[in-house]
Amino acid sequence: MRYSLSIGKIAGISVYLHWTFLILVGWIMMGTLQAGATWIDAMWSLLLLATIFLCITLHEVGHALMARRFGIATRDITLLPIGGLARMEALPEKPREELLVALAGPAVNLVIALILFPFVQRIDPNLAMSSIGAVNFVPALFGVNIWLALFNLIPAFPMDGGRVFRALLAFRTGYVRATRTAASLGQLLAMVFVFAGFALNPFLIFIGLFIFLGAQAEAGMVETRFALRDHTVKDVLMHEVPTLDDTASMRDAACRLLNSQNKNFLVLHEGQPVGILTRQDIITTLRTHGDKALVRDAIDTKLEYLNPGMPLDKAWSKMQSEHKPMMLVMDEGQIKGAVDEESIEELILIHTARSQHN
């Protein structure tokens, strides 16, 4: 995520702090001092905040380590003011694995609470962030961990509880349908959060919006991935691939861009493919080196090829993870054409339209 500060690694996974976090820190400091507290009290509040976010990080590490057991790597963990976010390379698709990965997070908070329990004398349910000191620090942390476990188990997909709910559904109805149902419940609960936020705590409004958009995005992604599984690279193969010579200038490339609806070009050197030039490459190079720069200096020369029989979801993942908006398709040593992100998106649109007609 952009605008994030790297704060180290846990179990080999980079942890980032998002800049909006500063808002939370400022808000707590202001609230504490406004409530008549001293700077020392405010420091205790910040220490609790830092400890809470350590617990949230451990919660995410719980997910990540369980996912690793099933062969899924975690790219990084980002701490937002409304909680943590672990970005995994893939998502577990076997219901049993998803269930275990989803439960691993809240389990971590329960374990922390169990460890703290012997040191807790009395739990004050009305504890406020502004009244934290040496005496009630541990009880507060205990309460927060219980709350983190329970809150995350609310079945509002894509929260942990929602993933548990999807996994349980998926045992019976299949992954796509389970996701659709879980996402609908998630969006309904998200709206409840937004409503409740007006009355109780503005943070709930943000959490609600986050869940609402997250449910929509993830449900869409699942449908896309499953739609792509029914197709191979051959189904979106573009036979018409515009070419550019590697000795052409950026001025030429910009003209070619404007002269047709093409965005991505195959670059040739003496008739042999040497790279792909995208619209973004042209814009970036015009900005940094101007009109006279040559195409050959702007291209990524590491060409990768797809073959026509490759399942389309694999091709899509490959293009995404290598950040290549267009790839060439090779069959028996011959170039058959190219595939770009847009044709894959078009296939999904066409596929969805056809299935809605039938």
Among 89, 124, 291, 297, indicate the residue that binds a copy of itself (CB under 8 A): 291
The answer to whether residue 36 forms part of the interface with a copy of itself (CB under 8 A) is no
Cβ–Cβ < 8 Å for 305, 355: no
SS3 category, 83: strand
Q: How far is CA 66 from CA 70, 96, 169, 206, in A?
A: 7, 12, 21, 28
Q: What is the largest CA-CA distance in the chain?
A: 80
Shortest distance, CB of residue 99 to a copy of itself, whole angstroms? Answer: 35
The answer to whether residue 19 forms part of the interface with a copy of itself (CB under 8 A) is no
The answer to whether residue 332 forms part of the interface with a copy of itself (CB under 8 A) is no
How many beta carbons lie within 10 A of that of residue 6, not counting itself?
Answer: 10
Q: How far is CA 90 from CA 71, 140, 276, in A?
A: 9, 35, 27
Interface with a copy of itself (CB under 8 A), residue total 50
The answer to whether residue 354 forms part of the interface with a copy of itself (CB under 8 A) is yes
Separation of alpha carbons 60 and 77, rounded Å = 7
The answer to whether residue 70 forms part of the interface with a copy of itself (CB under 8 A) is no
Shortest distance, CB of residue 241 to a copy of itself, whole angstroms? Answer: 8
Separation of alpha carbons 192 and 176, rounded Å = 25
The answer to whether residue 353 forms part of the interface with a copy of itself (CB under 8 A) is yes
Among 27, 70, 137, 305, indicate the residue that binds a copy of itself (CB under 8 A): 27
DSSP letter for each residue of 221-273: HHHHHHHHHT-BGGGG-BS---EEETT-BHHHHHHHHHHSS---EEEEETTEE
CA quadruple 191, 196, 202, 204: dihedral sign: negative
Residue with tokens 């702007």: 298
The answer to whether residue 22 forms part of the interface with a copy of itself (CB under 8 A) is no
Shortest distance, CB of residue 288 to a copy of itself, whole angstroms? Answer: 7
DSSP letter for each residue of 296-317: HHHSB----EE-TTSBHHHHHH
Report the site for a copy of itself in 249-278 (rule: CB under 8 A): 254, 257-264
DSSP letter for each residue of 99-151: HHHHHHHHHHHHHHHHHHGGG-----TT--GGG--TTTHHHHHHHHHHHHHHH
Shortest distance, CB of residue 64 to a copy of itself, whole angstroms? Answer: 31
The answer to whether residue 346 forms part of the interface with a copy of itself (CB under 8 A) is yes
The answer to whether residue 93 forms part of the interface with a copy of itself (CB under 8 A) is no
The answer to whether residue 242 forms part of the interface with a copy of itself (CB under 8 A) is yes
The answer to whether residue 330 forms part of the interface with a copy of itself (CB under 8 A) is no
Report the residue number, 124 or 346, with the smaller CB distance to a copy of itself.
346
Report the residue number, 203 or 305, with the smaller CB distance to a copy of itself.
203
Which stretch, 38-46, 103-111, 117-125, 237-245, contacts a copy of itself (CB under 8 A)?
237-245
Which stretch, 72-80, 122-130, 195-203, 212-220, contacts a copy of itself (CB under 8 A)?
195-203
Report the residue number, 261 or 334, with the smaller CB distance to a copy of itself.
261
Residue type, 127: L
Residues of the shown chain interacting with a copy of itself in the complex, contacts defined by CB under 8 A? 23, 26-27, 30-31, 195, 197-199, 202, 205, 235-240, 242, 254, 257-264, 279, 282-284, 286-291, 340, 342-343, 346-347, 349-350, 352-354, 356-358
